[in-house]
Amino acid sequence: MSYTQPASKPTSGMHYFAEGWRLISRPGIKRYVVLPLLVNVLLMGSAFWWLFSQLGVWIPSMMSHVPDWLQWLSYLLWPLAVISVLLVFSYLFSTLTNLIAAPFCGLLAEQLENSLTGKPLPDTGIFGIVKDLPRIMAREWRKLMYYLPRALLLLVLYFVPGIGQTLAPVLWFLFSAWMLAVQYCDYPFDNHKVSFADMRRALRQHKTDNLQFGALISLFTMIPILNLVILPVAVCGATAMWVDRYRSQFARH
């Protein structure tokens, strides 16, 4: 059954996030959800168990950088510090998980697009993924190189007394939202061999909606239990977005 997007239907980032939850149970797709789901459960489950065991040490250490004249704001800065750590490590853990699960995520995006449009991609299936594995890993490396210098700049900002503990969490949340939109939308773009630069330019055309989509993924990545299933949900939502907004422009018919 093909997928059509009525003109009157909302197409915000929230809409596509909700679509992701619906599409993971679409007939014929569930078996492609299993492998990225297993990778996410094993890695994210272990990572967050370790993270929560370390928070009692890290948060007091971060608070020690707050100057004496701002100690009266400690009741506000403490939760900001916790949120900051969760944001940073949620994205770092997601990046590692996505690196390992990238071939399975690409396969899920490919099969879902086929299901939504009724038009299979060339070289589809597991053998096509194996053949494209070097290109897929190179693409993940490209995303990492885009991410690292910007992330390091924000991490340095955390250690600026006062300003870092208040401004950095907001900037990190916006940056994480953008990067998660880039991460998950890239799977269908990459399946069609659209360059990374062209993909970013396309996403910037709907930046508010993509930030909203990425922000919801970021929030759910911090929620125990729900963060274990967010990877395939995000891939499915991003693929629905690709089909509605970008496929007609970039896909080779």
Domain boundaries, the chain: 13-248
Predicted confidence at residue 188, as pLDDT, reads 94
Residue 155: what residue type?
L
Predicted confidence at residue 244, as pLDDT, reads 93
Angle, alpha carbons 242-246-249 (nearest 5°): 145
Predicted confidence at residue 126, as pLDDT, reads 61
Which residue intervals of 64-122 are DSSP H helices? Answer: 74-117
Predicted confidence at residue 205, as pLDDT, reads 92
253 residues of the chain, pLDDT tens digit each: 444 454 445 578 999 999 999 999 998 888 888 878 887 777 776 766 776 666 666 556 655 655 565 555 555 555 666 666 666 666 667 777 777 778 888 889 999 999 999 887 765 556 666 677 788 888 888 988 998 898 888 878 877 776 766 787 788 889 989 999 999 999 999 989 899 999 999 999 999 999 999 999 988 887 777 877 888 999 999 999 999 999 988 876 5
> C-alpha distances in angstroms, 200 versus 62, 64, 95, 189, 210?
34, 39, 18, 10, 11
Predicted confidence at residue 1, as pLDDT, reads 41
Predicted confidence at residue 37, as pLDDT, reads 80
Q: The tokens of 191 are what?
A: 């399946």
How far is the C-alpha of 8 from the C-alpha of 161, rounded, in Å?
49
How far is the C-alpha of 131 from the C-alpha of 193, rounded, in Å?
14
